[in-house]
Chains A and B, each alone.
Chain A
Amino acid sequence: MIKKRYIHICFFALISTAMVSSCSSNSDSPGNEYMPDMYRSPAIEAYVDYGEIRGRENTDVKSKVSARQTPKYTIPYYGVNKKEVELMLPNKRKAGMTWRESHGLYGWDLDTESGYENARMDTINPLTMTAQNAKTILKEGKRLYESMCTHCHGEKGDGNGTMIQSGAYGDLGVVPAYKNLDTLSEGKIFYSIYYGKGYMGAHGSLLDKKEIWTLVHYVRQFQRDGYGNFEEKDESDSKTTDSK
């Protein structure tokens, strides 16, 4: 009897070890690699940890951070067209000191007084919209708006985006409809996107300045009927009054 049990145990052990060895999956491991040194080679690749290459630990270059904002005063290369390059230069309206605590703009160039109020004077969008480029600008604006703004401001700019509909914000205020903000100057709209305003965070690290000015054009469409439509009348009503 003892011998028989011995065999059964043996069988069980064998099958269980076979099972264990065949399905030991660890989701944290990428599995076997042909050439691990090629996956983590010394050539720099974004977001790859170089702390360990070919079994050697190198604490100096071990990943301590995986995403950073661009260094201060970075200006992206933007071709040789003077007008386009000027769009990329640092913004002349600087955020106020309170923006450091309210919007986390530590390390930014700030001003003692809020540039928001002064931005009421910037009534001209430096990205001039003409009959020729209106369609391109608004098409690009639509693309940007749909990926960057829709979830809060809503597809139609009515402040009823998917984030509001899902109740993620709870009772915490509502996003204003663009229609109610039509007295804002171009500069103020730019300022709100770039540095953030109220609950809205700063989007200066997500969008370059040309993209923001494109969005300013696009947003104006929700506020003024026929904005950017050059077929009916020759001149768009780019004059703005600012009462706030």
Chain B
Amino acid sequence: MKIPVFQRVVQVLLSVRVMLFISLMLLCGASIAQGEGLFKAKCATCHAVFKNGTGPKLYEARKRWEDAGEGDLIYEWVRNNAALRASGKSVRALEVFQEYNGSVMSAFGDLTNDQISSILDWVDSQDPNASAGGGNVAQATSSDMSVEEEESIPWIWIVMGIMFSIIIMAVGGVRRELKIATKESDKGSEGLTYIDEFKVWAWKYRLYVGLTTLVLVLSLIVGFFQTLYSVNIVEAYQPSQPIAFPHDVHAGVNGIDCKYCHNSVTKSKSAGLPTVNVCMNCHKKINGEGEEYQGEIAKIYAAAGWDPSRGPSGAYTNQTEPIVWNKVHNLPDHVYFNHSQHVVVGGLDCKQCHGDMAKLNETAKVQPYQELNKIEENIESKIEFDRATMTMGWCIQCHEQSSVNITDGKSGYYTEIHERLKENDYNLLTKYNEDGRVSVSELGGWECSKCHY
């Protein structure tokens, strides 16, 4: 019975609120709508509604001016704040100017009083409680991220193994003590050495001993070959990073292009790690939802020397700290690999080799080849790996399977190769085209000196 009553109360309250809202809208709906457009066009670059940014928050800004007894002067301030400050008739203007370390607000001489008040009307009509939910999407999708401490587990097993062997030895010892104590009565075992005794014991339980030995030998052989085959296989490599960076939130939910942060990928051999000022392009404003995220983002602030509590909206302090990321994809010194060749000339998508990072809810890792085979672009270009990622077999496989369009003129590099083949060795070009495609290996992708020199 309680619930319907409660619901009714809520409904009544809601309808009252809706009616109030509608009447408000009828009164000044047109002007508020205009205010929203103007706010987005003119103010939003520096001002937010509820939070101080480059400029102060605009919510109840008019009230603050009115409280200072200068309600009329806010219009002059917006149109030309420098002139207002110079005129000396406003104390509030100088206060605001000083509070923001003398950063100058642009002059908006073309705004009329009506337009300015419509902006302030729209800003004040916003609901401060509704905005608290901002950023929920990012939070909901990534709240299950957790950094697990995997390192300690092998140690637990080792300790347990040692404890087991101690228990076994202790049991054996007790047994031996008992034997010695009952030596007089047990004539059969008198004078036997440990080895003899073990032989007798082993023969008695030959089934168990045989099975155990078999398991031991087999596991040793399997272990030996596993170790051999795991040499230089780095597919499980996921080094811990100084900041738990979730790729799925950045590249997935927020749709940031890989090349924004790893921006040297189109120009250089290495894809590059972003400098911390790239992080700050967004994180100046985004300080995280929940303690876990705030803790991680605070590390960025420490590195960038950003103090969110300094001044009205935070400020850089120049007290910077470096971040050391751990390199995930290592190639030996004798291998040359160039990102820009693959991304710009070859036109590969990042995820064809690195997996779909937009879905990886953890720090970067070397993706197993099975994952790469699921990538759409790889299926489209008929690339199917069966060699472990980051091995030479893996490189070679892709160079053989991927075909190059040398006639579409998109890449000057391949167009040049095509021209030269046509002029100098047309038979060779025909031979390349026999299977209906030109593979990278046919254009020198299997040449030793392309990667080893």
Contacts and interface: CB of A to CB of B under 8 A. Distances in A.
A21 B223 contact: yes
B51 A172 contact: yes
A124 to B, nearest CB: 22
B282 A168 contact: yes
Nearest to A101: B315
Given A9-B171, A162-B255, A151 B260 contact: yes
Q: Considering residues B154, B171, B215, B256, which has the most beta carbons from chain A within 10 angstroms of its beta carbon?
A: B256
Nearest to A175: B44
B109 A20 contact: no
B280 interface: yes
A46 B253 CA distance: 30
A35 B304 CA distance: 37
A150 B281 contact: no
Contacts of B324: 49, 63-66
Interface in A143-183: 146-148, 150-152, 159, 161-163, 165-177, 180-181
Contact of A176 (B41, B222, B284): B41
B191 interface: no
Contacts of B333: 38-39, 41, 43, 45
B26 interface: no
Contacts of A203: 281
Interface string B203-232: 001001000100110010011001100111
B161 A33 contact: no
A92 to B, nearest CB: 20
Contacts, number: 269
A105 B332 CA distance: 37
Given A26-B151, A104-B316, A163-B256, A177 B41 contact: yes
Contacts of B47: 173
23 contacts: A6-B172, A24-B157, A26-B150, A27-B237, A27-B238, A31-B234, A31-B237, A38-B333, A39-B332, A64-B324, A66-B323, A68-B275, A101-B316, A103-B316, A114-B104, A159-B40, A163-B256, A170-B135, A170-B286, A171-B50, A176-B45, A199-B53, A201-B280
Interface of A: 2-3, 6-7, 9-18, 20-22, 24-35, 38-39, 41, 43, 45-49, 63-69, 98, 100-104, 106, 114, 117, 146-148, 150-152, 159, 161-163, 165-177, 180-181, 196-203, 205-206, 243-244
Interface of B: 40-42, 44-51, 53-54, 101-104, 106-110, 131, 134-138, 150-151, 154, 157-158, 160-161, 164-165, 167-168, 171-172, 175, 205, 208, 212, 215-216, 219, 222-223, 226-227, 230-234, 236-240, 253-257, 259-260, 263, 269-270, 272-278, 280-282, 284-286, 304-306, 311, 315-316, 318, 322-327, 330-334, 365
